[in-house]
Structure 1
Amino acid sequence: MKLNLKRAVVGLTMAVCLFSLSACGAASKQSEGIDADMKAQLEQIPVASYLELYTGLEDKDTEQMRKSLTKKDEVAALAEGIDSWNNVKGDLGSFVSASDSVKLEESKDGYSATVNTVFEKRNMDFTVTFDHKLSKITGVAFVPEYNIAEKMEKAGFNTLMGMGTVFVVLIFISMLIGCFRYISIFEEKLLNKKNVAEIKVAVEAEPVFIQPLAEEDELKDDLELAAVITAAIAASEGVSPSGLVVRSIKRAATGNWKKA
């Protein structure tokens, strides 16, 4: 299979080169249509053989064929047509035959050759485009012929998909707009929750305790004060200070001094 692929690519390349050499002089002529010499050269191009390159291509050899065609600039456009062929081959079925007549057209980009082909399920127009010198293939096109019912079905499906997509987007936007009020409520709740938390933190701050003054302060370690009080008591009682022992000193209530 690999050898056949290589032969097919080489054959196609040689065919394009031969036609390019014979068309160099005629490509510069300007006319309203295709002149006779150019038309004769285009009619000699085996358009159907390019189609056989796709119809005989198996899925397992697709990538190998793509790489082989891409390496040669003259037929690189055929590699780009592989994806288009894979998209339409399911609607065509098996290849049956190709018409001998070729429709030729000229455009600002070059020339195109179209051949009508017959497949198991439907017919198809296969088009190959060339540059003005016929030295390079610039593109391929596969145009299956669908009946009115199939066209209406495809049109209806495309319309349904387009309208369905629009309605889904509109519904999503409506739901998004409707959620804006809940977003504001959610933000307000978050703000209130933050304020409550700040107040709670302020309330739960560590309190400052003031140590109350003791009503009765015992001055056990104040020796000078104890000596003075002992001397005063001894003088008032007429006894010796050595016989007196001060065990504790307590502050008297202010009301007692006023009564004295």
Structure 2
Amino acid sequence: MCRHLACLGPTVPLGEVLVAPEHSLYTQSWAPRHQRHGTVNADGFGVGWYAQDDPVPARYRRAGPVWADLGFADLARVVRTGALLAAVRDATLPGADGEAAAAPFAAGPWLFSHNGAVGEWPGSLAPLALTLPAQELLGLAAGSDSALVWALALHRLRAGDALGQALADTVRDVAGAAPSSRLNLLLTDGAAVAATAWGDTLWYLHEPGRRAVVASEPYDDDPRWREVPDHTLLVATRADVTLTPLKEPPA
């Protein structure tokens, strides 16, 4: 399992969102409060962020634990943004992908993260993998379940699906192929955030017109945090948040 977070709001240093809060994503790498599977997220981390007037995000990812990376401390102190997605990773299975397996995954304007695990991986998703064009399958960022889930969602985005629709349909297909999967997905294009609650915790904090934060768990004790019901799609902008029940996969 993992912990992840996306934020849209005023331009602030990365560290104000990811490090400074009492129960920040940084702290969740070794002391999560709501994580249901696993206890330490030390198998990599990453952050992607958007600079003003540039639709393509920058990323910083590493294979080790965030607390051991002194470079991240400097980055978090000086880099400023109004939109970001970050994650700390607890690998589903051992692997040699290293940094390539750390979220956020990226393509064009999009950043993506998966908090969860695909059941009976990898055999369960072989039929879905074969629905991808060969060049997309060969271009997988890593050999992990999360990388393939991202490829499935990305295929829909490139076909013109909106953020929420791409995630909802991906969850339906993956859950249909591997019913025991946990599929908390997080996606942003810098202007909106889409997320799914499917098997683990998801929360949001919204200040209409100013800020929207979507996270695996609250990073502080602000009473305005709200938990998203399981099997729900969330789509958030700075202006509003909508929650929609996800369709169950065919029996």
**TM-score (norm: length of structure 1):** 0.21
Rg larger for: 1
Instruction: Please state which structure has a larger fraction of its residues in strand.
Output: 2
Greater relative CO (CA pairs within 8 A, separation 6+): 2
Instruction: Please state which structure has a larger fraction of its residues in helix.
Output: 1
